[in-house]
Amino acid sequence: MEFKHWLFTALFCLAALAALGQTVVECPQNIGFEKGTFANWQCLTGEISETTQTDPGGVITLSPSGSINGRHTVISDGVDEYGDFSLKSPNGSKYVIKLGNNEGGRGAEGISYTLKVPANAPTYSVIFNYALVLQNPGHPTLLEQPRFIATVINETTNTTTPCGSFTFIAASNQPGFSISAKDASVTYKPWSAAAIDLSAYQGHTVRLEFTTNDCTHTRHFGYAYLDFAENCSAPISGAAVCTGDRSTVLSAVPGFERYRWYKPDTQEELGTTESITLSPVPPPGTRIAVDMFAFPGLGCDQTLVTTITGVALNVNPPQASCYPVDLTATAIIAGSTAGLTYTYWKDAALREQVPDPRNITASGTYYLQAQAPSGCKLVREVDVIYNPVLPIEVIQQPQIQYPATLDLGASFLPDPRLTYSYWLDTAMKIPIREDPHRVRFGGDYYLKGVSSEGCTVTAKLFADILVLDIDIPNVFTPNGDGINDVLTVDLNRPVDLNYLKIYNRWGALVFQTRDITNFWTGRNQNGSNAPGGTYYWVIDGKENLMPYKRSGAVTLVR
């Protein structure tokens, strides 16, 4: 099979295209890596089969692996070492990801995301903004070359979508690509765009798959950069205008070969470029359409329709949170006009900008300013409630002696907002099996507090419980009342006992045993009652093959 597609590395956004105006639509969670992780994504690794004289090779085998740094890498800044293009996302988001690396070795990497196309979206598109770096060793067949594969699978029907699956293979004659100044064997294409139309799959479950692989001879590499916009709204910008605007610029999805703008109700031609200027501004309610014609082999032709509307800035206050609040979250502006540019301010006069609107750690009123492409601006208040979970304040309790018990709940100052649990290990996977408020054994314990919002805080607690290696009462009363009638001996260490001997004050032996549970009843060796007074005990044995000797005194009371 001959492949003559463009090389590229893909960045995409899911866009819901409403026929009657464009509003911000919140995208699937973390599709744009806004958490700085691969949460909700599946990461895969594997290899491409080797090419031999009898086997053309080129078969990619992947299996789930979790994200592996260096093969699935989240990036927030920098430039590509071969193409010297910026690694900041073209859509302004905080993170992009790098799929693959420059190490060769017949490696292959993949990521996939599963989503459901909204049943009520008349038009729904996946928009790729892409950048790719592929080494071009010039192997005899294209199957041997490094490549990037984008596949869209309709899981509802178990079919591959015809307009959403592409293979891009290293070659020397691809339009829009350049040769690296660092290594002439490497070709690269900086960020660009393409699109996939999912309008026909309303209510269906779709899986997006992206794969990179090295060449089949182990030495040459290929990798891609990807990102995904958080605003899943109509890709035509500029249709929202303010009262008094004399002109507006409409822009379609970049990356198509040709464009045709027109009014679908009258078929009046308006332009044939990616962006057009409308002057004067048509009345609100005017529908504008654009036909976008794809390059051969790169996607499908699409038609987008938008409506000239007034600018709407809808602000949804974020919920109270124990996590830092992100004012740039799409949920806050859901329902607003698409294509607005936002800035964030601390004061109503818009004099002091918020330095990091993605990381608000102080409650208060903030101000969001939206600017339409035509230049008009709107301002709305945003109230933030930030309830951080404070570190646990540990209280070290005084030492107690076994068999007394210790209440771990008294080892810290509790926060009524948190639910606490007690653990035996630092990973907090082994719970305490006994009552944490009656702990019998000393050592380290671990406390975890969880808020209703899911924030957690942890601390280490120390139970200072002294356990004597031997426990013998200093007084016993063998009077037959059933209380303290025998001299009990508890050994709290693994001692192999040689003997326990008890002597009177003149040094005469009155009792001996080799069984530590054979308690002295206060009788002499001849069976008569020993008189009241002080007696002396001696224990001899071995602990872990080492000599073990202990001695002490006990008072017999009659």
Predicted confidence (pLDDT) per residue in 491-537, tens digit: 888 899 999 999 999 999 999 999 988 999 999 999 999 999 999 99
pLDDT tens track for 300-333: 788 888 888 888 888 999 988 888 999 999 889 9
Question: What is the arithmetic mean of pLDDT over 226-245?
Answer: 76
SS3 at position 296: coil
* Main-chain phi, psi angles of 555, to 5 degrees: -105, 125
User: For residue 21, is pLDDT > 60?
Assistant: no
How many residues are given for the chain?
558
Q: What would be the CATH architecture of the domain defined by 393-466?
A: Sandwich (2.60)
Question: What is the arithmetic mean of pLDDT over 156-169?
Answer: 80
Question: What is the arithmetic mean of pLDDT over 61-90?
Answer: 94
pLDDT the model gives residue 16: 34
Of 93, 102, 79, 132, which is closest to residue 232 (Cα–Cα)? 93
In one-letter notation, the amino acid at residue 304 is L
Higher pLDDT, 457 or 51: 457
pLDDT tens track for 168-196: 787 766 767 899 999 999 999 898 776 67
Extract the tokens encoding 373. Answer: 């492409």
Higher pLDDT, 28 or 195: 28
Confidence at 15, pLDDT banded by 50, 70, 90: very low
User: For residue 463, is pLDDT > 90?
Assistant: yes
pLDDT the model gives residue 231: 62
Contacts 24+ apart (CB under 8 A), 181-187: 181/84, 182/81, 182/82, 183/82, 183/135, 185/135, 185/136, 185/137, 185/220, 186/82, 186/133, 186/134, 186/135, 186/136, 187/7, 187/133, 187/134, 187/135, 187/136
Confidence at 471, pLDDT banded by 50, 70, 90: confident
Across 76-85, 142-151, 427-436, least confident range: 142-151
pLDDT the model gives residue 210: 95
SS3 at position 142: helix
Q: How far apart are CA 297 and CA 4, in angstroms?
A: 8
Helix (H), strand (E), coil (C) string for 395-459: CCCCCEECCCCECHHHCECCCCCEEEEEECCCCCCCECCCCCCCECCCEEEEEEEEECCCCEEEE
Span between the terminal Cα atoms of the chain, in Å = 105
Confidence at 298, pLDDT banded by 50, 70, 90: low
pLDDT the model gives residue 44: 97
User: For residue 3, is pLDDT > 80?
Assistant: no
pLDDT the model gives residue 199: 77
Query: Position of tokens 């009258």?
Result: 266
pLDDT the model gives residue 2: 36
pLDDT the model gives residue 493: 81
* Same fold flag, 240-311 and 469-556: yes
User: Is residue 365 within a helix (H) or strand (E), and if so which, with residue range?
Assistant: strand 364-371
SS3 at position 143: helix
pLDDT the model gives residue 111: 97
CATH class of 41-228: mainly beta
In one-letter notation, the amino acid at residue 254 is P
pLDDT the model gives residue 222: 95
- Do 121 and 235 meet the contact criterion of CB atoms below 8 Å apart? no
User: For residue 61, is pLDDT > 60?
Assistant: yes
Question: What is the arithmetic mean of pLDDT over 444-460?
Answer: 92
The full set of domain ranges for the chain reads 41-228, 240-311, 330-384, 393-466, 469-556
pLDDT the model gives residue 99: 97
Residue 403: asked if its preceding bond is cis (omega within 30°), the reply is yes
User: For residue 43, is pLDDT > 50?
Assistant: yes
User: For residue 12, is pLDDT > 70?
Assistant: no
Question: What is the arithmetic mean of pLDDT over 325-342?
Answer: 87
Q: How far apart are CA 344 and CA 114, in angstroms?
A: 33
User: For residue 74, is pLDDT > 70?
Assistant: yes
User: For residue 13, is pLDDT > 70?
Assistant: no
The DSSP code sequence of 212-225 is EE--TTSS--EEEE
CA 132 to the chain's CA centroid = 25
pLDDT the model gives residue 138: 81
Higher pLDDT, 60 or 137: 60
The radius of gyration of the chain's CA atoms, rounded to the nearest angstrom, is 37
Of 226, 234, 228, 273, which is closest to residue 254 (Cα–Cα)? 273
**Alpha-carbon separation of residue 342 from 372, 376, 544 (angstroms):** 9, 12, 73
pLDDT the model gives residue 490: 85
In one-letter notation, the amino acid at residue 310 is G
pLDDT the model gives residue 20: 35
Mean pLDDT over the full length of the chain = 87
Give me the CATH topology for the region 240-311. Immunoglobulin-like (2.60.40)
CATH class of 469-556: mainly beta
Question: Considering the entire predicted model, what is its pTM?
Answer: 0.56
Higher pLDDT, 225 or 442: 225
Share of the chain above pLDDT 70, in %: 91
Higher pLDDT, 230 or 548: 548
DSSP letter, residue 523 = B
User: For residue 232, is pLDDT > 70?
Assistant: no
- Do 100 and 70 meet the contact criterion of CB atoms below 8 Å apart? no
Query: Position of tokens 């124990």?
Result: 322
Confidence at 260, pLDDT banded by 50, 70, 90: very high
pLDDT the model gives residue 379: 92
